[in-house]
Amino acid sequence: MPVLKNIKAIAKGMSITFMEMFQPTQVENYPDGPGPLRGARFEERYRGMHVLQRDENGLEKCVACFLCAAACPSNCIYIEAAENTETNRVSGAERYAKVYNIDYNRCIFCGYCVEACPTDAITHGHGFELASFNASNLIYRKEQMLAAAPAHMGANAVFNSADVAGGAPALPVQGS
Amino acid sequence: MPDVTLTVDGKKLTAPAGTLLIEACKSAGIEIPSFCYYPNLSLQGACRMCLVKIEKMPKLQTACTTVVTEGMIVTSDNEEVRQARKSMVELLLGNHPLDCPVCDAGGECELQDMTFSYGAAESKYMEAKNHKDEQQWSPVVFFDRPRCILCYRCVRVCGEGMDVWALGVQNRGVSSIIAPNKEDHLECEECGMCIDICPVGALTSGAYRYKTRPWEMKHVGTICTHCGDGCKTTLGVRRSDSGMEIVRGDNRDKSGINNDFLCIKGRYAFDFAHHPDRLMQPLIRKNGKLTPANWEEAFELIGKRFAEIRDHDGMIGVVGSSRITNEEAYLLSKFARVVLKTNNVDHHRTADFPALAAALSGKPDSTATMREVYDAPAILLIGNNPTDQHPLLAWQIRNNVRLHRSRLYLINSQTIKLGRQAAGFTQIPAGTEGKVAAYLAGDDAAVEAIITEKNSRETWNALREKLRGEQKLVIIFGSEIRGNDVAVLVKFGSGVHGAKFVCLADYANSRGAADMGLYPDLLPGYHRVADTGKFHDEWTSIPATTGLTLPEMVDAAKASKLKALYVVGANPIGRLGLDPFLFSKTFVVVQEMFLTETAFMADVVLPAANAYEKSGTFTNTCGDLQILKKAGEVTGTKSDFEMIVRIADAMGFDVHKLVPFGAGERTDMGQSRGAQSGEADRHAVWLEARGLEPKMSPLEPTAILDEIQRLVPGYDFSRINLLAGNDQHTTLANSGPGAIQKPELIVPANDNLFSSGTLGRYSKALHSVMESRTQQTSEVAAD
Ligand code: SF4
Ligand code: SF4
Ligand code: SF4
Ligand code: SF4
Ligand code: SF4
Ligand code: FES
């Protein structure tokens, strides 16, 4: 009897619906949820906007080896290297990244750059609110991705626009 | 030598007796890893990377020192061999820092490659590594001791190859270290050969240091723009704010005539291109001041004034350059005659090519290539100091003597460094080179002028006899031999079996400028302006009277007769030390990279591209023709070729008649030579705006190459070979009759290793080396 068969199928489907109605909700209430993340939840391994890490002395870990740029399948990392001097020490090794840009128009968040980095300088943070009406805003500079400096270096220099090289507008580091 | 047959990995090979096993394997496509072995340097046997198994020999053998023998059975790769190589890598890494991320060699390091192929990346040592800070040995040479794997390549190339012997080994055994000649710094020719040859990142270049990575650059093989030798240099370029920036020069492409060699200029002196003083906008003199203007304005003004002056029979002078390409020199020569209707064309002459062309006319195979200088069984060098003025030539001669036992006869008024390689060095009183030529050619009376305390008549007699008995002698002469002396020397040469000539000129395309007729009395190919011939047919309306030489133009300006002067890439005011106000009544147009003394007083200055920023061809001092590829790019500049065409266009001249384009089937808009992106589009826009067919642009120098190949004798080269980057020899045998030039018009540039005319003035790399020299000498003087 096809009619009976259909009714049975509908009843089965509806029973699942009613069962789920009384389960705790799985839907994230982003962006209207509580807390700084406004309801968003992440897995630990979520690959969001990159963070350029510092070492225990607060120096930048990136040594401008260009390996991330070489690994990047969408070719969106741009680096200019420079040499550390006595008076201007930026990274722990001989050289550092004077310019480090990631073009988030093109980044596919694959994590290859993180995989390639020999000094664990580049990592994926949890920042994800990157959307913009202006594509040129999506080219992030080193200053925007750098982890906050530790307290002994004048905490969070990155929030202080006077300290940002080239007077770039200082954006708070997202996620991390 | 007879061939021997051996077996490597089951493959039967034959190689001439005396071949090294490593070379025999290489030619059969079997790679044997090596660090210390380098072709054409003495054998070291230091690194033990090349170990192979040879049957009937008890232990593994080093392939780099073993000579092939008949019936040898070799295994180049098995478990035992791999294990041995792995342990060699392990030992090398024992004290090697984990530096790859910051090391300049990363990505092109032989040790990295070996570690990848053989493993052993994990160290079994417990001890901390012995660190030593990096040292700066000279402005361009840095040394990082812990990275050194003691292969001694640098020591050998500096000593044997360069004959400088600035690097050496201190201590013995495990504590050996590479050390510079002046304790903590180097005093040497700064050629950078040691850096290039270092398999790891121990020796690094000051110019390229920590700038970028090999895979981040585009590598463009082009021809050095400094001396007249024509080395192929590979420029690494990266995008920058102002176009394409040249980040480094080296010779990773060893297909050029220079093989392994580059001197300091070819390797480091590309930085003039990015000097902050570089002109990037046309300048027009308004109210007595040079004011930035736009291109259209500039071309309009030049076109209007040039046309006016020409139509009122005003005198116009044209000064070309020895650093523009053949195409540009040809076009300039044609532009002057056909558009400006004048024969007043000249350039900075550094050698007497017209005299050589006249003397060699009808003698095929009588000029030597740069490669032949490396193979010739005997060489006679009269005048010049190649070590300073022609570094590649010096390298060729030196290594010919070292590797092929060539006999070098030197005749010079100075004791020059090549004397160390000479089989015979004969010092003569200054200025008597012409007498030497006369004496060699059989004029016995001429010997009086060259007899000195050391060299009696008998010595000269013996020398002449020896030279006459040589075969395939390459006769090289500097600008000391000029005018009639050239013909005399050629007369001597025709008595020696298979003798060939090299005439030394100082700039990158001096030979090309001469071949393309930047002379007041000669057209391309050394045809006289007065003789009717193919140029008259093709170009039509060439003024029949001989034009003015550069000094004559200056005189005309003094007499207020010169109405306009068109200077393409030259600086006559600076070079001749002229009064800058001399040309105040002349309409002066200068195409230059910088505000030189000449540009400074010009009425219009057009910012020009240099040889690294354009395509075209260069002919080196020997006559070897090579292709230039566009590497760098600076926005706001144009090639001289394009500017000449645009001026002709602005003068209302039919560009078709100047550059034959549209009909060419062998040419394109630059795709074949790797044009920069957008270049073809720019050509197309220009064509479209003028309603011309977009098949071929007149702004593309290749457009005129067909005409050069067709009309200039000796330039009937193969286009395929040219595009493939091979050097091709152009001969003078079928040239026009030439003309006797006034000897005083030839003024050698007298550049040394660290100077290079205007380009040198704007090169920080060359300056830093020269400054380090003067500082050090003054320190010594103060002691
Ligand atoms: S995540 Fe992937 S695409 Fe994005 S920068 Fe890294 S390598 Fe490139
Ligand atoms: S020399 Fe080679 S192996 Fe050593 S640090 Fe440099 S790149 Fe790495
Ligand atoms: S730069 Fe040249 S001359 Fe100087 S040490 Fe190196 S190889 Fe020798
Ligand atoms: S410096 Fe370089 S070339 Fe010289 S011995 Fe050391 S590793 Fe070899
Ligand atoms: S020898 Fe001459 S052509 Fe060769 S690199 Fe030096 S300056 Fe350039
Ligand atoms: S290459 Fe043979 S021992 Fe070094």
Dump pLDDT digits (tens) for B686-744: 666 776 655 566 777 878 888 899 999 999 988 888 888 899 999 998 898 888 888 89
CA distances from B582 to A154, B312, B562 (A): 63, 22, 10
Taking the domains of chain A in order of start, what are their residue ranges?
1-41, 49-167
Nearest protein Cα to ligand 1, atom 4: A107
Which pLDDT score, from 0 to 100, does residue B694 have? Answer: 52
Domains in chain B with CATH codes: 3-92 (3.10.20.740), 110-205 (3.30.70.20), 273-278+291-350+510-736+751-760 (3.40.50.740), 384-503 (3.40.228.10)
Nearest 5°: phi and psi at B268? -115, -25
For residue A54, give every residue at least 6 positions away whose Cβ sits within 8 Å of its Cβ, in sequence order, or none. A60, A61, A146, A147, A149, A150
* HSE-up of residue B96 (Cα within 13 Å, Cβ side): 26
Length of chain A: 176
Q: Which atom of ligand 5 is nearest to the CA of B266?
A: 5
Side chain identity at B468, as an amino acid letter?
R
Report chain A residues whose CB lies below 8 A from the CB of B212: 66, 80-81
- Which of B140, B153, B158, B182 should be mutated for ligand 3, with most atoms under 8 A from CB? B158
Residue-wise DSSP of B609-676:
--GGGS-EEEE-TT-EEEEE----EETT-B-HHHHHHHHHHHTT--HHHHS--SS-SS--SSGGGTPP
Which pLDDT score, from 0 to 100, does residue B628 have? Answer: 93
For residue B746, give every residue at least 6 positions away whose Cβ sits within 8 Å of its Cβ, in sequence order, or none. B349, B350, B351, B352, B479, B482
Which pLDDT score, from 0 to 100, does residue B688 have? Answer: 63
Low-confidence ranges of chain B (pLDDT < 50): 664-667, 671-674, 777-783
- Tokens 């102002």 -> residue: B242
Q: Which atom of ligand 2 is nearest to the CA of B106?
A: 7
* CA–CA min distance B632, chain A (Å): 18
* CA–CA min distance B725, chain A (Å): 29
Handedness of CA B702, B708, B714, B717 (dihedral sign): positive
Q: Which atom of ligand 4 is nearest to the CA of B35?
A: 8
CA distances from A135 to A106, A113, B257 (A): 10, 22, 49
Which pLDDT score, from 0 to 100, does residue A35 have? Answer: 82
Dump pLDDT digits (tens) for B475-495: 999 999 999 999 999 999 999
Which pLDDT score, from 0 to 100, does residue B656 have? Answer: 85
Q: In 3D, which of A142, A77, A134 has the Cα closest to residue A108?
A: A77
Cis check: omega of the bond before B364, within 30 degrees of 0: no
Nearest protein Cα to ligand 4, atom 2: B198
Report chain B residues whose CB lies below 8 A from the CB of A95: 102, 210
Handedness of CA A108, A90, A66, B99 (dihedral sign): negative
DSSP 8-state assignment for residue B246: E
- The more confidently predicted of residues A156 and A34 is A34
CATH number of A49-167: 3.30.70.3270
Do B410 and B416 touch, CB atoms closer than 8 A? Answer: yes
For ligand 3, the distance from its centroid to the CA atom of residue B401, given in whole angstroms, is: 20
